């Protein structure tokens, strides 16, 4: 526990080193891969964010995975609240509507909707490197509920273009989902 608190304190200090604004207006696309209890599916994702004012922003995303005749899709739309906790760090909180659907070929398809709540930190560790870490809880009916962790990074090539990478872990009703992505971001 002490090591976890020390790591959190050090990361918060590193994220708050110098002054810079985080941009909440962007669109990004990515190549995604997910491991669901040993089954691997590949796909793509697109997500974006739009800042409404100094405190609130909207976020939306779509991910699609497939392998053979199996297909898994997730759509999310949400509202975020940000609070500056350092010169280069924001505490972010999000509430999202989530819709999951799966098509298992001959076994039919299923879909359900629910919600996700998330909280975490987003900040700049240097002039070009942005990191995000979030803890979340998701409940999507037939697709289960449970906690998850989201880690992401952006290397900002310039003010408009960035290279992204991320890792997500979710435990939904004792089913482990491990996914990673790599892509590009356009900020406006």
Q: SS3 for 22? A: coil
Question: Do the Cβ atoms of 167 and 151 come closer than 8 Å?
Answer: yes
Range of the domain at 59: 2-187
Are residues 146 and 173 in contact, defined by beta-carbon separation less than 8 angstroms? yes
Q: Is the pLDDT of residue 15 over 60?
A: no
Mean pLDDT of 45-70: 96
Taking only the tens place, the pLDDT of each residue in 83-136 is: 999 999 999 999 999 999 999 876 779 999 999 999 999 999 999 999 999 999
% the chain with pLDDT above 70: 88
Overall average pLDDT of the 147-151 stretch: 98
Phi, psi of 32 (to 5 degrees): -125, 150
The token pair at 83 is 């609070």
Tell me how many domains the chain contains.
1
Query: Tokens representing 39?
Result: 């089954």
Q: Of 118, 107, 117, 123, whose CA–CA distance to 156 is shortest?
A: 123
pLDDT over threshold 80, residue 29: yes
DSSP label at residue 21: P
CATH number at residue 141: 2.40.160.20
């Amino acid at each position: 526990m002490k090591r976890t608190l020390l790591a959190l304190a050090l990361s918060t200090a590193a994220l708050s080193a110098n002054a810079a604004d985080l941009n909440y207006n962007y669109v990004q696309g990515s190549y995604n891969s997910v491991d669901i209890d040993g089954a691997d599916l590949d796909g793509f994702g697109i997500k974006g964010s739009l800042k409404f004012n100094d405190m609130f922003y909207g976020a939306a995303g779509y991910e699609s995975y497939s392998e053979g005749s199996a297909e898994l899709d997730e759509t999310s739309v949400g509202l975020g609240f940000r609070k500056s906790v350092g010169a280069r760090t924001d505490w972010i909180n999000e509430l999202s509507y989530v819709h999951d659907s799966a098509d298992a070929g001959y076994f039919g398809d299923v879909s359900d909707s629910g919600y996700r709540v998330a909280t975490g930190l987003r900040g700049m560790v240097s002039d070009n490197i942005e990191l995000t870490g979030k803890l979340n809880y998701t409940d999507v009916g037939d697709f289960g509920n449970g906690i998850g962790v989201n880690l992401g990074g952006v290397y900002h090539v310039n003010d408009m273009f960035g290279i992204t990478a991320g890792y997500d872990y979710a435990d939904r009703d004792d089913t482990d989902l491990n996914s990673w992505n790599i892509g590009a971001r356009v900020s406006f």
